Structure 1
Amino acid sequence: MQAIQVTRIEHLPWSSGCRFVAWRYGAGHSQLQLYAAEKKLALLFQGVEFMSVHRSYPDLAIALSSDVDQRASAAPLVVELMAAHKSGLVECSKVTVMKLAAAPDGWWPDSAQVLFSLGGT
């Protein structure tokens, strides 16, 4: 499967169809990783300036937030996390969705296959 560089809001929202859990956060690298064991998918947020997240999201969907002026944020992207009765927000420079062979053992596991990415290079 070829990676897709998402460049327009029309490509979002993206719906996962599975449960994601907060997997790892690194303040030094400003990165947040969410993981879905059911489908072995990982979401990697890079250049995180602000986040308000729950520990888990059943049937997670992501979209660019329509409630926040993207230009007023310190980060280029304001990504909304949506699930039944839960929501969250991540201000970041980039978000990447990856398919993995196993649970992530690092920020960018060797088995990572990028499904799509939104934001900086």
Structure 2
Amino acid sequence: MTDVKVEQCDEDEAHYLVGKLAMDLGINLTGDAVRDLFYASFARHRQAAEKAQQERDAAYIEGKGGVIPGATVFVSLITGENMPCMSGDARDKLNPHKRRQFDDATRDLATAIRSQGHE
């Protein structure tokens, strides 16, 4: 298992929840081991949510799961026309050379999004 970097926001959320839970249930949830377990759990959850959001952002840019609205705007800027495309994918308006460049650029942008936070 990888090391989990606990940040202040994780500690704050865990402290609030543990305190509320202990008060509601009338139990003692103090102690370093219990506290660290809650901190690490919150940190893992936050990191998983951030990673999932990065993947959704990258997939959106790449156009996975359907045609991306952003592609329509970019293609309209490239071609100078804003009429809808019969196929529904505005990238089909581009000539093959520009289409490859456009797809390469979106793939590079998606790769950059996926690599955020990884040194």
TM over 0.5: no
The structure with the greater share of residues assigned to helix is 2
> Which structure would you say has the larger Rg?
2
More RCO (CA 8 Å, sep 6+): 1
Q: Which has the higher strand share?
A: 1
Instruction: State the TM-score bracket (shorter-chain normalisation).
Output: under 0.3
Question: Which TM-score applies when normalising by structure 2?
Answer: 0.23
User: What TM-score do the two structures reach when normalised by structure 1?
Assistant: 0.23
